[in-house]
Amino acid sequence: MSLKIVTWNINSVRLRLAQVNELAKLAKADILCLQEIKVIDDLFPHDGLKELFPYRAVKGMKAYNGVAILSKLPIIEESRLQWCGKDDARHISATVEAGKAGKIEVHNFYIPAGGDEPDPEINEKFAHKLKFMKEMARWGKKTISPKARRIMVGDFNVAPLEADVWSHKQLLKIVSHTPVETDHLEKVRTTQDWVDAVRHFIPEDEKAFSWWSYRNRDWRASNRGRRLDHIWVTPSLTEHLSGIEILDQTRDWTKPSDHCPIALELSI
């Protein structure tokens, strides 16, 4: 059995509903995880998605944030956790039934961006981001299980490796690639020995991006990107990893998101 899971910061699901359908077909997604859906639960466009994804778990809020898991596989359990004492719709999880492969737990995160100034003393948004990752690390330690089949995806708003940004030296003091952020994210990763699926297939010294600023008119020519979007799996799923694709062609769509989707294929 092949399982295709895709993560995408859509930057408004209602604005890009047609693109969701196009992406689902392009990527042949079995599970599609969205961030920044920017809509309350009651207004989520279920009717426009139910034919492609009969199972849906949503945690939204008005105008900001929000996450959703859309699935062709039955969702048998859902969870929505609050972080940093805020009900700001940054996490949702769903356990899916994957036939003979059994149950797989999918966690979809939208880590705070952190503002512009990488100093938690003067920037509340950056302090929030660091606190959020600290809580993720504590959660990781509490929920560790050697046999767990878990997939963690989302817009982590951190580009951890040198080749995850267009210029390591120039971005060391820019939010998303500062040492304090990459250290915090690495602590999250090590809690359950999460495997970075993108770097499982793409060497760590090879450039790989998933986000390009809207300010870059010709984003392909300048290629000043960052890898802010991630798919991680627990070690028990590593042997089932069969392919990864960064779908950067979506960045050329009309009125695109500034993020492009990442698709992981597993043979299970």
**What's the pLDDT tens digit per position in 49-90?**
999 999 999 999 999 999 999 999 999 999 999 999 999 999
- The mean per-residue pLDDT over the stretch 156-182 comes to 98
Query: What was the pLDDT predicted at 52?
Result: 95
Mean pLDDT, all residues of the chain: 96
- The mean per-residue pLDDT over the stretch 164-170 comes to 98
Please say whether the beta carbons of 17 and 48 come within 8 A.
yes
- Nearest CA-CA partner of 210 in 255, 156, 171: 156
What distance in Å separates the CA atoms of residue 182 and residue 234, rounded to the nearest whole number?
20
Instruction: Please count the structural domains in the chain.
Output: 1
Domain encompassing residue 145: 2-267
Alpha helix stretches (DSSP H) within the chain: 17-27, 124-142, 168-171, 179-191, 197-201, 219-222
Kind of pairing, strands 31-35 and 2-9? parallel
- Nearest CA-CA partner of 56 in 164, 256, 47, 230: 47
Does position 146 have pLDDT exceeding 90, yes or no? no
CATH of the domain at 102: 3.60.10.10
Query: What was the pLDDT predicted at 72?
Result: 97
- The mean per-residue pLDDT over the stretch 129-141 comes to 98
Query: What was the pLDDT predicted at 100?
Result: 73
Greatest CA separation for the chain: 52
What distance in Å separates the CA atoms of residue 187 and residue 193, rounded to the nearest whole number?
10
